Amino acid sequence: MKKNQIYFFTLMLILVIAGCTSQKKLTYFNGIDKNAADSINLRSSFRHEAIIVSGDMLGITVSGLDPKAVANFNMPFVSYSSPGSDQIYAPQTLQPYVVDIEGNIHFPVVGKIKAEGLTRSQLIALITKELEVYVEKPIVNIRFINSTVTILGEVNRPGQYALTNERSTLLDALGLAGDLTAYGKRENVLIRRENSGKVEFSRLNLNDGSLFNSPYYYVQQNDVIYVEPNSVKSVSSQNIPLYLSSVSTLATLITLVYSISRSN
């Protein structure tokens, strides 16, 4: 009985030590003073707008005082059906404009318009100016249709998620993925971003208040977010056989010492 108890308590001790993750590693914003009302200047961030890139699908509508005058500037409605079936399963929607590999969209009557590198409001202003030649007081509306972010690594629900808000933040994106797991490295979150034909990488610390003023705090369409496993996850997953061997050896030694002390 004594021998079994020794094995049991030794095993429990080793597992607790191996799987222990401190509270500090599980919380966010440890770098912000908890005893003071810290304020962070987000003035520049308030003006954030997503940048249009090649491959974006844009929903663009034009309205004006004369519906007939703007009719030629709106794309036709399209419907979608299931593969191999003629049954429509989605309501009709305006055909989107796709930003081509050169960063252009092809607008009815106007022709080719450079969209890549512009924000939504900048493209609205550009198209509005072009249309004023043809339409009195045109009103242009633009929305992103295929804006998604991919979240991988130590999150509870990794996958690809649609961004419904142009000002979605890194924290919003991680929330869509069910937050980080207990093994996620909060001080080293990797962001991969495509910008003007180049791939950029940045690492963000969720414990640092400077996060909120990082140009990567607001996610862009097609961003990839990767949360690395912390040292606890690495040790726990890779060294389980070593732990079990250590437990067995330690328990044997304790039992041997106990037996010798009893015999004396």
SS (H, E, C) 71-112: HHHCCCEECCECCCCCCECCCCEECCEECCCCCEEEECCCEE
Q: Return the half-sphere exposure (C-beta side, CA atoms, 13 A cut-off) of residue 196.
A: 4
Q: Do residues 57 and 98 lie in contact, with contact meaning Cβ atoms separated by under 8 Å?
A: yes
Is the Cα dihedral 29, 33, 38, 42 positive or negative?
A: negative
| Fold that domain 23-46+147-229 belongs to in CATH | Outer membrane lipoprotein wza fold like (3.10.560)
Question: What pLDDT sits at residue 100?
Answer: 94
Express each pLDDT in 185-243 by its tens digit.
999 999 999 877 789 999 999 988 888 889 999 999 999 999 999 877 555 555 556 55
Distance CA 160, CA 149 (A): 6
Average pLDDT, the chain: 79
pLDDT in tens, 87-121: 444 455 778 999 999 999 999 999 999 999 999 99
HSE at residue 238, side-chain half, CA atoms within 13 A, is 7
**Percent of all residues in the chain with a pLDDT value above 70, rounded to a whole number:** 63
What sign for the dihedral angle of Cα 118, 120, 122, 124?
positive
Residue extents of the structural domains in the chain: 2-21+235-263, 23-46+147-229, 51-144
Q: Tokens 């996620």, residue? A: 184
Return the DSSP state at 210.
G
Predicted confidence (pLDDT) per residue in 127-166, tens digit: 999 999 999 999 999 999 888 999 999 999 999 999 888 8
**Contact indicator for 14, 247 with CB cutoff of 8 Å:** yes
pTM score of the predicted model: 0.66
Q: Name the β-bridge partners of 194.
A: 199
In CATH, 51-144 is 3.30.1950.10: yes
Contact 54, 116 (CB under 8 A): yes
Q: Where is pLDDT greater, at 254 or 247?
A: 254
